[in-house]
Structure 1
Amino acid sequence: MTIEDIVKKHKAGAQFVISAPMLRMKPQDFHALAEQWYDDGGPGFNVVGVPHRSVVEDEFLITRMTVIRTTADV
């Protein structure tokens, strides 16, 4: 499942969670994308609140975040 598939399932204004396991990504890879999304927004969504972080191999990484669907095309 891709991020676009997940986002398309939601209507504008809906809040939902995106996590590394949902995208079948390693936490380190998800963290890198999540930092970009936190700063610039993602494809069809913006981050809401503070992302959830977990310790993974002695690193404090973003592993889950709550987002809100925008009206932007995906």
Structure 2
Amino acid sequence: MKARVTVMLKTGVLDPQGEAVRHALGSLGFAGVQGVRQGKVIELDLTETDATKAEAEVKTMCEKLLANTVIESYRVELL
């Protein structure tokens, strides 16, 4: 089973990388972009075949390592 984890900074947390991308887009002529939030996508190949167990395991991975839950939120998708 595969899982995809999307990690983003929480609303209200400054995103300097996103701001740099927004500025670069403006420099390239894309003036209509008012804001950019940058995150990360992590794809996992799991041996677990039970969807409920797999989702719980991936959420535990997020809480312990993949996301800094103080400043980041995450979303888990089973593929």
- TM over 0.5, yes or no? no
The two structures have a TM-score, normalised by structure 2, of 0.30
Higher percent of residues as strand: 1
The two structures have a TM-score, normalised by structure 1, of 0.32
Higher percent of residues as helix: 2
Higher relative contact order (CA 8 A, sep 6+): 2
Higher-Rg member (1/2): 2
